[in-house]
């Protein structure tokens, strides 16, 4: 049962973040949700980065075992923002760095929310 709960958090956060952020990005750029191909393409690309981010979040959460849960969640959201922005710096535009920060914060927030919902206060 712990394996299922762990996979729910580890894979659920990137899936939610990738799909919702990509749909939001499509709408913000003037597209429509009926145009599903750009959303799927962007979501799949983002999923690669966010699964790596979710792994990093899981390892960081376990490493901060001595801290209170809320402190760990706040630290993970900050880490998500930093890592998301940092991974997009090579793409060279301020828009791509901002997108990385948004995806990083969304992934970390979904990860923290799912972890809290699945595990409670552990």
pLDDT tens digits, 43-79: 787 888 888 888 888 889 889 988 998 899 999 999 9
Q: Which residue has the higher pLDDT, 34 or 64?
A: 64
* Domain residue spans of the chain: 2-119
Q: What span, in angstroms and rounded, lies between the C-alpha atoms of 40 and 17?
A: 13
Question: How many residues in the chain?
Answer: 122
With contact defined as beta carbons under 8 Å apart, do 48 and 87 qualify?
no
pLDDT score of 93: 85
Query: pTM of the full predicted structure?
Result: 0.81
Long-range CB contacts for residues 85-94, cutoff 8 Å, separation at least 24: 87/49
For helices 94-119 and 2-28, give the axis angle rounded to 10 degrees: 150
**In the block, which residue shows the tokens 């923002």?**
81
Residue for token pair 């959201």: 77
Q: What are the tens digits of pLDDT across the range 7-29?
A: 888 888 888 888 888 777 777 77
């Amino acid at each position: 049962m712990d394996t299922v709960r762990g996979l729910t958090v580890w894979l659920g956060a990137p899936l939610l973040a990738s799909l919702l952020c990509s749909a939001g990005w499509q709408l913000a750029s003037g597209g429509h949700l009926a145009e599903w191909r750009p959303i799927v393409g962007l979501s799949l690309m983002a999923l690669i980065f966010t699964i790596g981010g979710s792994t990093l979040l899981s390892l960081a959460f376990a490493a901060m075992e001595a801290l209170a849960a809320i402190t760990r969640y706040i630290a993970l959201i900050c880490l998500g923002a930093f890592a998301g922005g940092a991974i997009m710096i090579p793409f060279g535009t301020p828009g791509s760095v901002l997108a990385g920060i948004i995806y990083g914060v969304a992934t970390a927030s979904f990860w923290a929310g799912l972890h809290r919902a699945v595990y409670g206060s552990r």
